Structure 1
Amino acid sequence: MTKPILELKNIQTVVNRHTANETKILRGINLTIHTGDFITVVGTNGAGKSTLFNVIAGHLPVDAGQIFHNGVDITHTSEEARTKFLARVFQDPKLGTAPRMTVAENMLLATKRGEHRPLFPRKLKSQIPRFTKLAATMNNGLENRMNTATGALSGGQRQALSFLMATIKRPDLLLLDEHTAALDPHTSRNLLKATDERIKQDHLTALMITHHLEDALKYGNRLIALKNGQIIADVSGDQKEQLTVKDLYRYFE
């Protein structure tokens, strides 16, 4: 068994605290993520999937419990500080990219993720061949639009760029927050295929939220199901391979 890269211990979150609408979202989440895990995350709306990602990313503070990265307690580490080892791709293609900057400029910016960025020569031209080669792996023509403003891209190309930006500087942990949900079926399939290939090729550790149960079964080595703020299933290996969509539906009942 590989060393845990991230551990969540008894994580609890509460919203509207001390009001009549006080609600506990995550209810004692315990999750150990090992290097190389590709975990698909399923659950009904309101199950706590996005809240889980927000807690891991540091966007939302926890009310109880601890989070460890490589054995170091990061429970109270800021969201900005966590970008040194964590990257995230959101559902909305407009998030994660700068619309007025070109594709190449966005990719150059991503190479400095988590770093202090003083004034320095960009040296963009020397990076163009590398960026073009990376863009070509998306199989959607992005490599031909390196000098195009990102806001002028199609939704699929912009989301592919977001994915490249999240992975260009290999993160310890990649969070894919329904990153294909806003795309048409053909574009979604292409991006999922490219995602799977990059994760395998670069041996990335990733969590992917999806509402498509077939995708949850097809991708990754491990699957977790959330319900009412708790992990009700955590399957991997042969057990995951034997799961069916019908089995997953039982988690939602």
Structure 2
Amino acid sequence: MTKSTLELKDVKTTVKTADGEIIPILKGINLKIKSGDFITIIGTNGAGKSTLFNTIAGSLKPDSGQILHDGQDITKMSEEKRTQFIGRVFQDPKMGTAPRMTVAENLLLATNRGKKRFLKIRKLKENIPHFKEMARVMNNGLENRLNSFVEGLSGGQRQALSFLMATIERPDILLLDEHTAALDPHTSENLLAVTDKQIKENKLTALMITHHMEDALKYGNRLLVLKDGRVKVDINEPEKKKLKVSDLYAYFDD
């Protein structure tokens, strides 16, 4: 039996609005994520998708329930410590990178994410050939911009950098939070194709939120439909291959 890399047991999470109102978002999430899973996640606005990611990443603490990583309880673990085994790419290309540092400096910074910091020589030049090879797989010219400041990159190149930074240390869990939503269709399609290829080749375990039903069906080996703070349906790969986009919309109507 494949061991669960991450498990959520009856996780409930609330958020506080600007006027102090407490709103329940996750209302009892039970989920087992196995090593090598690539799970696409869909749901209407307010279904709990981003709250689920924030709870897994540690930026939101659940009000009740348990989160286990490799069998160890991490429910109360800080967000900073979770970066040792969780990588995340956000929807906004400006998040997750340091704009006034170069591409190469950002990648070097990412190699130390979640680790103890010591005073040491950066060894930036020695890493350039490795970073160039890494950036080339993104298929958008990023390898030629290693000495450019991040603030001067296109949105697609910035998201490509964010993806590389999130995966450079091969995290146990990769969270893709609508990471192509802010890009034009061509750039989005390219990044999704590269994302899929890198997840498969590096045997990463990933969860990807998307609003595009076609992408939810095309990518990954599992599909989750969230509705009203709960997992409405968890579809495995054989079942997923039989579905059409119209079938997915039907889940929102029930």
CA distance in 1, matches of 2:125, 2:147: 11
CA distance in 1, matches of 2:161, 2:237: 31
- Could you state the TM-score of these two structures normalised by the residue count of structure 2? 0.97
Which residue of structure 1 aligns with residue 249 of structure 2? Answer: 249
Name the SS of the counterpart of 1:106 in structure 2: helix
Which residue of structure 2 aligns with residue 118 of structure 1? Answer: 118
Which residue of structure 1 aligns with residue 150 of structure 2? Answer: 150
Which residue of structure 1 aligns with residue 235 of structure 2? Answer: 235
Query: Which stretches in structure 2 are left out of the alignment for 5+ residues?
Result: none
Deviation string 1:129-185 (CA, Å, 9 cap, x unpaired) is: 110011000110000011000000000000000000000111000000000000000
> Percent identity among equivalent residues?
66
CA distance in 1, matches of 2:14, 2:79: 19
Matched, 1:28 2:28: yes
Which residue of structure 2 aligns with residue 206 of structure 1? Answer: 206
Deviation string 1:207-237 (CA, Å, 9 cap, x unpaired) is: 0000000000000000000000010010112
CA distance in 1, matches of 2:42, 2:15: 22
Superposition map of 1:1-253 within 5 A: 1-16=1-16, 21-253=21-253
> Aligned in 2, Cα 1:126/1:16: closer, same or farther, shift over 3 Å?
closer
CA distance in 1, matches of 2:73, 2:15: 23
Q: How far does residue 20 in structure 1 lie from its aligned partner after superposition?
A: 8.6
Q: How far does residue 21 in structure 1 lie from its aligned partner after superposition?
A: 3.7
Root mean square deviation, CA, Å: 1.2
Name the SS of the counterpart of 1:197 in structure 2: helix
Q: How far does residue 15 in structure 1 lie from its aligned partner after superposition?
A: 2.6
Q: How far does residue 193 in structure 1 lie from its aligned partner after superposition?
A: 0.4
CA distance in 2, matches of 1:204, 1:15: 30
CA distance in 1, matches of 2:20, 2:129: 58
Deviation string 1:13-47 (CA, Å, 9 cap, x unpaired) is: 12349x99432111110000000000000000000
- Could you state the TM-score of these two structures normalised by the residue count of structure 1? 0.98
CA distance in 1, matches of 2:120, 2:224: 44
CA distance in 2, matches of 1:186, 1:157: 13
Task: Give, as a single letter, the amino acid of the residue that structure 1 aligns with 2:157.
Answer: Q
CA distance in 2, matches of 1:104, 1:160: 13
CA distance in 2, matches of 1:47, 1:237: 23
CA distance in 2, matches of 1:247, 1:90: 28
CA distance in 2, matches of 1:165, 1:21: 36
CA distance in 1, matches of 2:196, 2:5: 20
Q: What is the aligned length? A: 252
Deviation string 1:173-200 (CA, Å, 9 cap, x unpaired) is: 0000000000000000000000000000
**More deviation, 113-122/175-184:** 113-122
CA distance in 2, matches of 1:59, 1:28: 18
